[in-house]
Amino acid sequence: MTDTKIMNFDYKENVQMREPLPKLRLVINFLLMLEVLLGIAIILVAACYQSILGSFMVQVDRKMLAAKFFNTYLLGFQLIASYICSVSMWRRVWKRRYSQTIEILLSVWLFFCFLIVLCGMGTVWSLVNSSDALENTAEIMLFYGIDLYYMMPEWKLLWDQLQYSQECCGVHGYEDWAHANWMPKEYSSLGQGRFGSTIRPRTKRSIDNYAAYDYDQCEEVPTECTEPTVTTTPAPRPTTTAQPAQCATTIQAAQQSNEGQTLAPYACCKHESTTCYQNYMPRSENSPIPHLNLTDINVGGCLAVFSTYMYLMLNILLVLMLIAIAVDLMICCLTKYLMFVSAKDCHLENKEPYYDDAGNALVIVRCPPNVKCITMEEQASRFSSDEYNTFVDLDVNNCCCENLSTTNLAGENARNSRKKGNYILH
């Protein structure tokens, strides 16, 4: 009776995908979860970014700001949704043997990963190029809000809250309030003479919008040179710009006595000042508008605070996006390397057969869990003589072992040195 060697193979080890690098499965799972966390961080930073910058704008401009962050939110949701599903996909892929189906699945998955990389690069480009436009838009709207400070309650509330909370005054500085359209002309000229060209001129957008207002219908602010009057009809504009001698003398005296003082809303006052808030206190109609000491107010502009917040949040977002892109490329490279090694191993496994000590090709037969192959020598201890004769009388043609041997043996000496193995199915 011919001796036959049986090579026992673990079925589970054979069907699972091999890891070409140590702990590659853990590395890929860690990178996938890192991408999910980066997506969450990008959404949170963008929401915080939008909330802080939105505090410098009214409701209409906040909608414009939300549109600029649409690509950022989209990238964050893509990272979260794509890589959470990828964790579940890879968990199933590791349990299967590498095949053509797995190769197609991983190729499609790599394609979508590269799409996320391109989306991230586009988002970075959009944020970098929109930073200057966003800063210019904020500057225009803040100047626009100064001129509508006493005409639109929304702008008054925004400016008071902004200047008090951020401890700033005006757009570029406290001098911007001297050029407000509602400021009395003598104070506006006083500010122009004092600050000169340091104050930026009005923008064309604000000038076009201000033309729609009839400022003569507003109550005139009482000053030292004007009598407090309230009219129900528009007063005719003066035909000459020449000021009375008494008013000019008063303005010149005020200019000399108010050095180191300015006109600004009470929200510009420093928090620790105890005398700055007198301009917000009730006063008689004949009393002039009180001036504020420069030592009691915040002289820095609010646009500088806006720019600081904007570039800080922008840098954080750019760092998070670049890290996400780098991790995505790393995942793609590891996946491509895994596909290359697995395809090579699968090709060698199907091409080169196993041989016994005599150089004969061996056939690897994977049996189902309820079927076991045993040799003829093992029959004496397991079966009686009657059962053995029953197995011997079986027709060999009814067993598919011969066909399996014929199709799987390969090599130079396979055809000449092929041996028939005697197996009993149990």
Per-residue pLDDT, averaged over 373-380, amounts to 61
Tell whether 189 and 259 lie within a shared domain: yes
- pLDDT (tens digit per residue) in 164-182: 888 888 888 888 888 887 7
Tell whether 196 and 277 lie within a shared domain: yes
Predicted pLDDT of residue 375: 64
Instruction: Kindly state whether residue 231 falls inside one of the protein's structural domains.
Output: no
In percent, the amount of the chain with pLDDT more than 90 equals 10
Instruction: Kindly state whether residue 252 falls inside one of the protein's structural domains.
Output: yes
Q: Is 325 exposed, middle or buried (0-12, 13-18, 19+ CB in 10 A)?
A: buried
Instruction: Kindly state whether residue 159 falls inside one of the protein's structural domains.
Output: no
Tell whether 296 and 175 lie within a shared domain: yes
Tell whether 347 and 367 lie within a shared domain: no
The answer, yes or no, to whether residue 306 has pLDDT greater than 80, is: yes
Instruction: Kindly state whether residue 9 falls inside one of the protein's structural domains.
Output: no
pLDDT-derived band at 296 (thresholds 50, 70, 90) equals confident
Predicted pLDDT of residue 362: 60
Give the dihedral sign, CA 176/181/187/190.
positive
For residue 194, how many C-alpha atoms fall within 13 Å in the half-sphere facing its CB?
Answer: 24
Tell whether 37 and 121 lie within a shared domain: yes
Instruction: Kindly state whether residue 2 falls inside one of the protein's structural domains.
Output: no
Rounded to whole angstroms, the Cα distance separating 20 from 34 reads 22
Predicted pLDDT of residue 425: 40
Instruction: Kindly state whether residue 210 falls inside one of the protein's structural domains.
Output: yes
Tell whether 131 and 67 lie within a shared domain: yes
Q: Which residue has the higher pLDDT, 303 or 243?
A: 303
Tell whether 334 and 368 lie within a shared domain: no
Residue in the structure block whose two tokens are 């396979």: 414
Which residues form the domain of 189? 169-214+245-300
Tell whether 38 and 114 lie within a shared domain: yes
Predicted pLDDT of residue 45: 92
Predicted pLDDT of residue 176: 85
Residue type, 391: F
Predicted pLDDT of residue 146: 87
Tell whether 258 and 286 lie within a shared domain: yes
Tell whether 283 and 193 lie within a shared domain: yes
Instruction: Kindly state whether residue 6 falls inside one of the protein's structural domains.
Output: no
- pLDDT (tens digit per residue) in 181-197: 777 665 554 444 444 33
pLDDT-derived band at 367 (thresholds 50, 70, 90) equals low
Q: Which of 404, 349, 381, 388 is nearest to 420 (CA)?
A: 404
Contact 332, 106 (CB under 8 A): no
Predicted pLDDT of residue 129: 86
Q: Quote the number of domains for the chain.
A: 3
Instruction: Kindly state whether residue 240 falls inside one of the protein's structural domains.
Output: no
pLDDT-derived band at 327 (thresholds 50, 70, 90) equals very high
Predicted pLDDT of residue 228: 37
Rounded to whole angstroms, the Cα distance separating 167 from 146 reads 16
- pLDDT (tens digit per residue) in 35-60: 999 999 999 999 988 888 888 888 87
One-letter-per-residue 3-state SS of the chain: CCCCCCCCCCHHHHHCCCCCCCCHHHHHHHHHHHHHHHHHHHHHHHHHHHHHHHCCCCHHHHHHHHHHCHHHHHHHHHHHHHHHHHHHHHHHHCCCCCCHHHHHHHHHHHHHHHHHHHHHHHHHHHHHHHHHHHHHHHHHHHHHHHHCCCCCHHHHHHHHHHHHHHCCCCCCEHHHHHHCCCCCHHHHHHHHHHHHHHCCCCCHHHHHHHCCCCHHHCCCCCCCCCCCCCCCCCCCCCCCCCCCHHHHHHHHHHHHHCCCEECCCHHHECCCCCCHHHHHCCCCCCCCCCCEEHHHECCECHHHHHHHHHHHHHHHHHHHHHHHHHHHHHHHHHHHHHHHHHHHHHHHHHHCCEECCCCCEECCCCCCCCCCEECHHHHHHHCCHHHHHHHHCCCHHHCCHHHHHHHHCCCCCCCCCCCCCCCEEC
pTM of the model: 0.59
The answer, yes or no, to whether residue 385 has pLDDT greater than 60, is: no
Tell whether 52 and 112 lie within a shared domain: yes
pLDDT-derived band at 377 (thresholds 50, 70, 90) equals low
- pLDDT (tens digit per residue) in 20-36: 677 888 888 899 999 99
Mark which of 351, 383, 413 sits at the end of a domain. 351
Average predicted confidence (pLDDT) for the chain: 69
Tell whether 62 and 134 lie within a shared domain: yes
Mark which of 300, 329, 363 sits at the end of a domain. 300
Per-residue pLDDT, averaged over 140-148, amounts to 87
- pLDDT (tens digit per residue) in 62-98: 888 888 888 899 999 999 999 999 888 888 888 877 7
- pLDDT (tens digit per residue) in 331-364: 999 888 888 887 776 655 555 555 566 666 565 5
The vertex-301 CA angle with 198 and 279, nearest 5°, equals 95
The answer, yes or no, to whether residue 220 has pLDDT greater than 80, is: no
